Amino acid sequence: MTDIITTTGFRTVTARNPATGEVLRKFECATPGQVYQAVDSARAAQKTWAATDVNARKEILHAFIRELHARKSEVAVLISRETGKPLAEALVTEVVVALDAADFLLRELPRFLRPERVGHANPMMKARRSYLLREAYGVVGVISPWNYPFSIPAVDVLNALMCGNGVVLKPSEFTPLIALKLKELFDAAGLPAGLLRVIIGDGLTGASLTQAPPEHLVDKLIFTGSVSTGKRIARAAAENLLPVVLELGGKDPMIVLEDANLETATSAAVWGAFMNAGQTCLSVERCYVHRSLFDNFVKRCVEKTSQLRVRPKDGGEYDVGPLIHAGQADIVDKQVQEAVAAGAKIECGGRRLDELGMNYYTPTVITGINSSLRLMCEETFGPVLPIIPFDNDDEAISMANDSEFGLAASVWTGDLARGEALARRIQAGAVMVNDVITSFGISEAPHGGVKSSGMGRTHGRAGLGEMVRLKYVDADRMGGVAKAWWFGYGDGYLSQMEGFADFMFSSSIIQRLQGGWRSIGAYFRKGRV
Ligand code: TXE
């Protein structure tokens, strides 16, 4: 049985190099039957895997790290080819992030999976040995996007597998080759056959995974993608009460206070907005700058943007590559043109680079934007940096929170305490003070948002928590003694329970002592069933 399903479907997906349009490989989409079969076989393999101890799993982790480290350049080159992003970004934001996540698991997994003691304050529960077990769901489905086609699924797959699950991965139709490379790395690391299945296909293929008949359905789903698809998945999941994690992107604000370091903050804004051609869920999509800094801030951003090298026709070194496809460039262009028509000012960029191909858009700095425009409300997911002035902290917070999204945010200031105080007021899953985007690459940090940015978390201990079912085990050492709250209701029972409530919760010490005494007496006088 093959672990990679690529044949006998009717629809096809094509892996291309978005920089050149070169077709890298064509695949037929997996049929629903093949998707169900992938889930079934992952489920069969998971039964044995769930019983393996942490050390056996750690051996695979070690081997995965060895393999990926040894082949880091090969993997980065493929990522760069299939997404168009610069090689340096492929290495740092994809390969290194995956390596770091695996390294985090080596340290965290034994602690995470160890039974966790639950203590009891209630004296009636003192004789119990109680603890929490973290048990694998079974098969976890991972539906992943094209913008970080290696690091996003790698972290989710690593977390799911190491918690004892089987995995069915459905990568984006734009980046199937990288997903297959990830599978190849796990195979080389000695992952048991069948445990990780990759199904290639489009959105309908993904729908077969979420709308399968109950006997072929995954036990948990981790989805990263658009809000509209996320909502569709949530509706399908509700039908079967399938638990889901939804990471649906953002419209992250960057707030630059008057005491921020202008040089660092402008470099951060430019990197945060244009890295991966702006196709990052944590991109700086709205930049709010204190009015006293505004003019200089815009000027320095324009100067720094003009130094960026957009990928030349013949390749070579560059800072900003193409967008993933022409449709993505259309979204960006429409938002920018709509803003211009409404009076916004293009400080630099603001046009497609048709001479390079339909997927290219110039890094764009834009000011004078009305906050009701799509450029300020919808995810742009392209190389556009809108800069807006504010006059005081309250105004900045109110503008930052005025969004349907709430993935992450950043505050820039020379006063950390002030920055942290503002961070608490921002509605987001993560707020960085004096940094942008980096939280995604910090293995300990949970990743996920509030509002339309989704629900649940990936990454960190919270991300691991999504991969297990929590089981509470409670062993009573006084198993031979009837419980005070069992049948035998009546006056004695009420007196006992009232006394107990006084003992536990009265604000008077005397009443507490009396209550305790009354409760014990009533327990021995009470009739039992
Ligand atoms: O996402 P989709 P797209 C945003 C970004 C971008 C927009 C559209 O703004 O412009 O989304 O991108 C699979 N059932 N983000 O169209 O469609 C699909 O095959 C099950 C933000 O690429 O959501 C792919 O594997 N699966 C985001 C995955 O879902 C379905 C990253 C994502 O595709 C499906 C990417 C269905 N009905 C885009 N339909 C982020 N959170 O950072 C599609 N898929």
| CA distances from residue 99 to 62, 259, 281 in whole angstroms, order as listed | 10, 36, 20
441: pLDDT strictly greater than 50: yes
| CA distances from residue 260 to 274, 295, 433 in whole angstroms, order as listed | 21, 14, 11
Q: Are 352 and 333 in contact (CB under 8 A)?
A: yes
Fold identical between 35-248+462-471 and 252-445? no
What is the band of 6 on the pLDDT scale with cuts at 50, 70, 90? Answer: low
Q: What are the tens digits of pLDDT across the range 261-279?
A: 999 999 999 999 999 999 9
Ligand 1: centre distance to CA 229 (Å): 6
Res 488: pLDDT: 87
Res 8: pLDDT: 55
Dist. CA 469–CA 184, nearest whole Å: 29
Q: What are the tens digits of pLDDT across the range 80-92?
A: 999 999 999 999 9
Residue spans of the domains in the chain: they are 35-248+462-471, 252-445, 484-525
DSSP H or E run through 277: none
pTM of the model: 0.96
| CA distances from residue 83 to 175, 247, 268, 436 in whole angstroms, order as listed | 7, 20, 23, 22
The matching CATH number, chosen from 3.40.309.10, 3.40.50.720, 2.40.170.20, 3.55.40.20, for 252-445 is 3.40.309.10
105: pLDDT strictly greater than 60: yes
491: pLDDT strictly greater than 90: no
Place of tokens 């503002």: 422
Q: What are the tens digits of pLDDT across the range 225-260?
A: 999 999 999 999 999 999 999 999 999 999 999 999
Dist. CA 446–CA 465, nearest whole Å: 10
What is the band of 522 on the pLDDT scale with cuts at 50, 70, 90? Answer: confident
DSSP string, 361-380: B--EEEES--TTSHHHHS--
Ligand 1: centre distance to CA 102 (Å): 25
Choice from 94, 229, 233 to test ligand 1 binding pocket (greatest atom count within 8 A of CB)? 229
Catalytic center residues: 247, 281
Res 521: pLDDT: 86
Place of tokens 């069969």: 44
Choice from 27, 178, 202, 226 to test ligand 1 binding pocket (greatest atom count within 8 A of CB)? 226
The matching CATH number, chosen from 3.40.220.10, 3.40.50.410, 3.30.930.10, 3.40.605.10, for 35-248+462-471 is 3.40.605.10
The edge-to-edge listing of strands for the beta sheet with 468-476 is 116-117, 128-136, 468-476
Burial of 117 (0-12, 13-18, 19+ CB in 10 A): exposed
Sign of CA dihedral 84, 86, 88, 89: negative
Amino acid occupying residue 243: P
Q: What are the tens digits of pLDDT across the range 381-439?
A: 999 999 999 999 999 999 999 999 999 999 999 999 999 999 999 999 999 999 999 99
- Beta-carbon contacts of 112 under 8 Å, excluding residues fewer than 6 positions away, are 134, 163, 461, 464
Dist. CA 17–CA 200, nearest whole Å: 17
Instruction: Work out the percent of the chain whose per-residue pLDDT is above 90.
Output: 92
The residue whose CA is least distant from atom 26 of ligand 1 is: 206
What is the band of 492 on the pLDDT scale with cuts at 50, 70, 90? Answer: confident
Q: Are 156 and 105 in contact (CB under 8 A)?
A: no
Q: What are the tens digits of pLDDT across the range 135-169?
A: 999 999 999 999 999 999 999 999 999 999 999 99
Amino acid occupying residue 2: T
Place of tokens 């000012």: 345
- Beta-carbon contacts of 302 under 8 Å, excluding residues fewer than 6 positions away, are 347, 348, 365
Res 1: pLDDT: 41
Mean pLDDT in the chain? 96
User: Within 6 Å (CB) of ligand 1, which residues are found?
Assistant: 143-147, 170, 172-173, 202-203, 206-207, 210, 224-226, 229, 232-233, 247-249, 281, 328, 331, 379, 381
Res 134: pLDDT: 98
Res 484: pLDDT: 86
Ligand 1: centre distance to CA 221 (Å): 14
Average pLDDT in the 74-102 region? 98
Q: What are the tens digits of pLDDT across the range 327-378?
A: 999 999 999 999 999 999 999 999 999 999 999 999 999 999 999 999 999 9
Res 398: pLDDT: 98
Q: Which atom of ligand 1 is nearest to the CA of 247?
A: 41
- Beta-carbon contacts of 524 under 8 Å, excluding residues fewer than 6 positions away, are none
Ligand 1: centre distance to CA 223 (Å): 9
Give me Rg for the CA atoms of the chain.
Answer: 27
Say how many Å lie between the first and final Cα of the chain, rounded.
Answer: 59
Ligand 1: centre distance to CA 415 (Å): 39
